[in-house]
Amino acid sequence: MRVLIPSQLRSYTHGAAEIAGAGTTLEELTRNLDAEFPGIRFRIIDEQDRIRRHIRIFVNGEQANTLAAALAPGDEVQIVGALTGG
């Protein structure tokens, strides 16, 4: 599946804005991403397996609120840095 990476995380993906991912749930996908790009998961998912406050994850354009969200091979997952800061 396609995984779209926001600018905030491209230091982990060697600059890539889009990568290929695998997993049947967001939990699996983020674990697999972390194996390929060490450290990336903890920047977007906290130790209680919650999506961090200023991160949004969309699956085929629909916002996913938990890591239990199901994924299929052809899905597009978009990780977004939400509005924040100043």
Partner 1 sequence: MKRKAAGRNAKKAPPRAASRSGARPKNRAARGRIVLMVGTRKGAWLFHSDAERRRWTIDGPHFLGHIVNHLTLDPRDGSTMLMASKTGHLGPTIFRSADMGRTWTEASRPPAFPKAAEGQSAEGKRALAVDYTFSLAPAHPREPRAWYATTSPPGLFRSEDAGVTWEQVAGWNEHPNYWKWNNPDAGTPDGAILQWMTIDPRDPTHMYIVTSSGGVFESNDKAESWRPLNKNVEANFMPGPSPEFGQDTHCLQMHPAAPDRLYQQSHCGIYRLDRPDDEWVRIGRNMPPEIGDIGFPIVLHPRDPDSAWVFPMDGTTVWPRTSPGGRPAVYRTRDAGASWERQDRGLPREQAWMTVKRQGFTADGRDPLGLYFGTTCGELWTSGDEGRRWRQIATHLPEIYSVEAATVA
Query: Is residue 1 a contact point for partner 1 (CB under 8 A)?
Result: no
DSSP the chain: -EEE--GGGTTTTTT-SEEE---SBHHHHHHHHHHHSTTHHHHHB-TTSPBPTTEEEEETTEEE-STT-B--TT-EEEEEE-S---
The correct pick among 36, 52, 60, 68 for binding partner 1 (CB under 8 A) is 52
- Interaction mask 64-83, partner 1, x per CB under 8 A: -----------------xx-
Which region, judged by CB under 8 A, interacts with partner 1, from 17-25, 40-48, 59-67, 69-77?
A: 40-48
